[in-house]
Amino acid sequence: MSDAAQPTAAEVRAAAEAVKTALDRHLAAVERRSGEDDPAVYEAFNQLAAAAEVYDELLYDRYDEVTPFEIPGTEDSLPPYAGPEEPNAISVLIRRDYAVAEPQRLLAQAQRVEAAEYDDGPGADQDAAGTIHGALGILFGEFEPDEIASRHKEFGLEEGDSTLWVTAADEQTEPGEWLETPFEGVDPERVVCRFDVSAVFDDEDSEDTEDTVDTDEADDDLDLDEDEDLEPLDAER
């Protein structure tokens, strides 16, 4: 950046004063908070975050220095709940990501489901069971998502991030109303609660889970040509 484009020392100091003012406002809002999701605290937090970001940028541009503070991005957080106090209906939105870690296992399990459904051998969907996307369609059509989540390793899948949102509604929607766009139009202010699972959360629970998975993987060197290496599937639903 050229000298002409750099902020002045006065601008940097004014930004620092704005941070001090925002700090005072945030503390005052916290001291007067009326509940866990007080909108005044939320607004004061956003103002403090914005002031700190401006100061940090000006400080770096003028003096090539940074602040020791890191304020979480507000775009990733939910606003205070503003839905009905006593919801008459709720929607549960779930997303689970998987990697196809063992394609041959996935195909083998789908083929076993197909074989169990037809007495005289493979049926009309024989070709589907021989492709990855076809096998996924068969397995997710046969088993409930929660069962696949608990038995994902049996199906050659590896867990990724997952999230569950519970949103409040005034009344239940009409049948078929949202089926074309089921995940659009979610109002963040009506999210009652959310639960996220991700490898980025480096806490003790996730470390224990990783240890368990490693142990299981050590016992899971499979030869898919041998039937006994595949867990039995209950294809009768």
pLDDT digits (tens, 9 = 90+) for 13-24: 999 999 999 999
- Give me the mean pLDDT over the 44-49 stretch: 88
Q: What is the pTM of this model?
A: 0.53
Q: What is the dihedral of CA 99, 104, 155, 160, to 10 degrees?
A: -10
Tell me the C-alpha distance between 129 and 109, whole Å.
9
pLDDT digits (tens, 9 = 90+) for 135-175: 999 999 999 999 999 999 999 999 999 999 999 988 998 99
Q: What is the pLDDT of residue 74?
A: 44
Q: What is the pLDDT of residue 219?
A: 46
Average per-residue pLDDT in the chain? 80
At 75, the pLDDT band (50, 70, 90 cuts) reads very low
Tell me the C-alpha distance between 57 and 45, whole Å.
18
pLDDT digits (tens, 9 = 90+) for 166-178: 999 889 989 999 9
Q: Is the pLDDT reported for residue 128 higher than 80?
A: no
Q: What is the pLDDT of residue 10?
A: 94
Q: Is the pLDDT reported for residue 102 higher than 70?
A: yes
| Cα dist from 141 to 108, 110, 138, 145, whole Å | 16, 10, 5, 9
Q: What is the pLDDT of residue 203?
A: 54
Q: What is the per-residue DSSP string for 25-66?
A: HHHHHHHT--STT-HHHHHHHHHHHHHHHHHHHHHHHHHS--
| Cα dist from 123 to 105, 112, 118, 131, 212, whole Å | 20, 12, 6, 15, 38
Name the percent of the chain lying above pLDDT 70.
75
Tokens of 132: 């990855």
At 202, the pLDDT band (50, 70, 90 cuts) reads low
Q: What is the pLDDT of residue 211?
A: 52
